Structure 1
């Protein structure tokens, strides 16, 4: 049986420090230049030339038109036109942990057990203790398949899905309309919700692993969660039943236990400060319509989104 054709889509910006490792991983999986779609937002660090030197073409896009969903949809269209049956989405800083990541990631789709999958994210070696916990909490060591029937039990976790490293069956991707466009973030979560509502299964694949983590400052945590709140303020009917509060409380409770277990009680004030920043930012983001655009841009991690909204 011939395996389905696949393509890897990677939006990038100034990714020079990641090109070598990511390109090497693509070559190890025998991915050709016709199977890898690098969408570059006019990088200025020489990375387009690095990609080309590694044998992969680069499609330049206007940085001012970048859109989380729209840019990935562009890559998906290009890949589908080349005959891709499985669309693999990655970010530029997701480094595969081994040479089995692609086979593991796509196996549930090939077998028909799910139409979409996403990989486990491991913390970088230098990640802080709190960031290590975040990766292990959100990306545990056991796989799980989800359907619409899991929403009452899991709440917002039923829709959890990450484009850091994910795969979707191309025909189903287009049947549900692809990624939503012109939303501030969580285009991957919305896609997962649309797939579940359409009766499909998605699977978290713990055996597909990439190294990816971010040690955000308190200010960055605030701005990111302001955007999360803004996203949920405009979330459609697909996300009905996505109760967020309980999951947030569970995260903080388990994080406190984690730092105590690692004999780092000195981090408790930081855990509490982060929780307060996330909660207040989320609540403010949910009420963003009450704020002037200049203030929203200052509070947001994705400030360009508000410029794009103004242009409409």
Structure 2
């Protein structure tokens, strides 16, 4: 089965030079007008340059997927430019469940970067445990929104199934990967979290960045399609906060509890505001959003 890795890029030269484990593979880069040397690095590989204003989380990846499929890909692997595999076996482990027929899509474990804050270390630990799991539609009542958890930081999908389901949605502000996972489960396919396939990837967002990101999460859920019915996030958010408080205590940093609570309040208020984004004028939405270009694209009718 032919595997093609698709990586959107924007001024990612530092991470791409660090990533030694991807260059032995079939690669497609979709670059959004980088000016830091990224385009020189990718010129020897299949690539396409798009206007920065054209970038779209779902649409840009669909463009790469079309190029990969035209090149005969059987398995589409999606990565971000800052995901660094921990060893040379990551790809084999990631696609093994697809090759065996165990699942139609998989995603990898994410480990925190060296020097990541304790709160970010917990986030990786909470969302990416050390035990693999296969999910099916039958798991939705028990897991709720967690059943749809899926990450394009490092994921793989059978190409024929990907296109059968219409690829990634191109009209969402983010979480195109979650929407695809929901479509897969609703269509009777299985998704596997592969803890043995590991990449280093984490972000220490500021409080402002956390707010803006969760505003976009709220906006996404406000417009999510029927595939995500039953995907309540409230219970999962409360569990995250409870376990994060316990985590910092275990690590001798009860002094971080006020920050945990402050972050939780910022995320919750931003999420609720994002869910009601239709009440806000365009200019305010752009200021509150991490992905402000989405609102321009929506206003211009390009979504």
TM > 0.5: yes
Secondary structure of the structure 1 residue equivalent to 2:22: helix
Q: Which runs of 5+ in 2 are unaligned?
A: none
Q: Work out the CA distance in 2 between the residues paired with 1:292 and 1:167.
A: 38
Deviation at 1:58, TM superposition (A): 2.9
Please say if 1:15 is aligned against 2:34.
no
Please say if 1:49 is aligned against 2:40.
yes
Deviation at 1:239, TM superposition (A): 0.2
Cα deviation, 1:196-251, whole Å, max 9, x if unaligned, reads: 00000000000000000000000000000000000000001100110110000000
Q: Work out the CA distance in 2 between the residues paired with 1:70 and 1:202.
A: 22
Q: Work out the CA distance in 1 between the residues paired with 2:35 and 2:259.
A: 36
Who is 2:129 aligned against? 140
Q: Work out the CA distance in 2 between the residues paired with 1:239 and 1:111.
A: 28
Secondary structure of the structure 1 residue equivalent to 2:87: coil
Please say if 1:223 is aligned against 2:212.
yes
Who is 1:26 aligned against? 22
Q: Of 300, 308, 311, which aligns to 2:289?
A: 300
Who is 1:182 aligned against? 171
Q: Work out the CA distance in 2 between the residues paired with 1:47 and 1:5.
A: 26
Please say if 1:150 is aligned against 2:139.
yes
- 1:112-127 to 2 correspondences below 5 Å: 112-127=101-116
User: After the TM superposition, which parts of structure 1 deviate over 4 Å for at least 4 consecutive aligned residues?
Assistant: none
Q: TM-score, normalised by structure 2?
A: 0.98
Secondary structure of the structure 2 residue equivalent to 1:75: helix
Who is 1:101 aligned against? 90
Secondary structure of the structure 1 residue equivalent to 2:195: strand
**Residues 131 and 213, structure 1, Cα contact 8 Å, conserved in 2:** yes
Deviation at 1:119, TM superposition (A): 0.1
**Residues 9 and 87, structure 1, Cα contact 8 Å, conserved in 2:** yes
Q: Work out the CA distance in 2 between the residues paired with 1:26 and 1:118.
A: 16
Q: TM-score, normalised by structure 1?
A: 0.95
Secondary structure of the structure 2 residue equivalent to 1:26: coil
- 1:1-312 to 2 correspondences below 5 Å: 4-22=1-19, 24-27=20-23, 30-31=24-25, 35-52=26-43, 55-312=44-301
Deviation at 1:59, TM superposition (A): 1.2
Secondary structure of the structure 1 residue equivalent to 2:21: helix
Q: Work out the CA distance in 1 between the residues paired with 2:49 and 2:171.
A: 20
Q: Work out the CA distance in 2 between the residues paired with 1:244 and 1:194.
A: 18
Deviation at 1:47, TM superposition (A): 1.2
